[in-house]
Amino acid sequence: MNEVVIAGRKLGPQHPPLVIAEIGINHEGDCDKALRMVEAAAQAGCECVKIQTHIIEDEMVPNDVVPGNAKESIWNIMSRCALTREEEVCIKRRTEELGMIFLSTPFSRAAADQLESMGVTAYKIGSGECNNYPLIRHVASFGKPVILSTGMNDISSIEPAVAIFRELKTDYVLMHCTSLYPTPYEKVRLGALGDLKKAFPDAVLGLSDHSLGNYTCYAAVALGASVLEKHFTCDKLWPGPDVPISVDPGELKRLVEGTRAVHQAMGGHKEILPDEKPTIDFAYASVVAIRDIRAGDILSKDNIWVKRPGTGEILARDYERVLGRVAKRPLQKNAQLAWDDFDG
């Protein structure tokens, strides 16, 4: 059975999906806003929140590259939004006080080391680092579970990352992802979950979703996703490049409830449940006499038919087996037939 355990929470097909509220940089560098989102996620019933750990000088060189979902350079965005170690410790402490799992994505070796010094229970690696094998090896060397997003990567570029996890005996989760903000529904490609399952049969699978709303997450659970990640904000009017694709507290609550409901509805076989017996009694039809029948009469469509309730001995499914038989005893109109009421 594919299973990963993070902070005592079991992840895998046999367990309810884990929803991760991705605060990310939606706090815009304001620790109080981040704490507000942590508390809102807890109130929504979410089990896990995630932020991002940026130590700029170890993460990137000065640049003027502007992300597709922003109007300023990634250097300026991350410089403004980076939290201090003390602020991240505060967020982690509050998250765990509320009974939730704290996660963060390190974007550099120094960020990973900082998180390790904070005693995190697991790591999330973003899609941009999926083929950053030196960083993956560094994080995996800590011996803690890793959740890896795989946007902008195909099976061939995911394989070396998985090989590192297997070599170091690091438990891992693979998150399908499309790195478009927002992701049009036709480009979510939930079929990729099947590709990941085939290529990495030992992996726990998930979806890091950037489409609008919760629809694709519900469907992903039915297709085998055990972890769901959505960007989260308290208020969609707040500034920030990821806010437009984020769910709010009401949507997060519905996401948690909905994915659990879908998981509960999965599995099983096409068979009659004992619990359905009360419904069978009134919904099925039984073979009945539709006029008075004398002993010796031949049973035909003129004197027997099928009517509710389904409490008779002979149900509608056996109607054809009764036709042509000879009544052994008189039967009154509306009497439910029994097998010993006729010959043969």
- pLDDT tens for each residue of 103-136: 999 999 999 999 999 999 999 999 999 999 999 9
pTM (2 decimals)?
0.93
How far is CA 132 from each of CA 57, 135, 224, rounded to the nearest angstrom? Answer: 17, 6, 26
Q: What is the pLDDT of residue 39?
A: 98
3-state secondary structure of 303: coil
66 pLDDT higher than 90: yes
71 pLDDT higher than 90: no
Q: What is the pLDDT of residue 68?
A: 84
Q: What is the pLDDT of residue 80?
A: 93
Q: Average pLDDT in the 72-78 region?
A: 92
Q: Average pLDDT in the 301-305 region?
A: 98
Q: Which residues pair with 174 in a beta bridge?
A: 148, 205
344 pLDDT higher than 80: no
Here the tokens at position 330 are 């008189």
Segment 223-256, tens digit of pLDDT? 999 999 999 999 999 999 999 999 999 999 999 9
1 pLDDT higher than 80: no
Contacts 24+ apart (CB under 8 A), 69-78: 69/181, 69/241, 69/242, 69/244, 69/245, 70/241, 77/25, 77/241, 78/25, 78/54
Of 63-72, 216-225, 271-280, 297-306, the poorest mean pLDDT is in 63-72
Q: What is the pLDDT of residue 73?
A: 93
Band (69; pLDDT cuts 50, 70, 90): confident
Band (70; pLDDT cuts 50, 70, 90): confident
Amino acid identity of residue 290, one-letter, is I
Q: Percent of the chain beyond pLDDT 70?
A: 100
Residue with tokens 């409490």: 311
Q: d(Cα 124, Cα 18) in Å, to the nearest integer?
A: 14
CB 23 within 8 A of CB 38: yes
Q: d(Cα 69, Cα 162) in Å, to the nearest integer?
A: 29
Planar angle of CA 22, 167, 24, nearest 5 degrees: 10
198 pLDDT higher than 90: yes
Band (257; pLDDT cuts 50, 70, 90): very high
* Per-position DSSP letters for 117-171, written without gaps between them: HTT-S-EEE-GGGTT-HHHHHHHHTT-S-EEEE-TT--HHHHHHHHHHHHHTT--
Q: What is the pLDDT of residue 20?
A: 98
CB 170 within 8 A of CB 138: no
Cα distance from N-terminal residue to C-terminal residue, the chain: 53
- CA torsion, points 158, 149, 30, 94, in degrees to nearest 10? -120
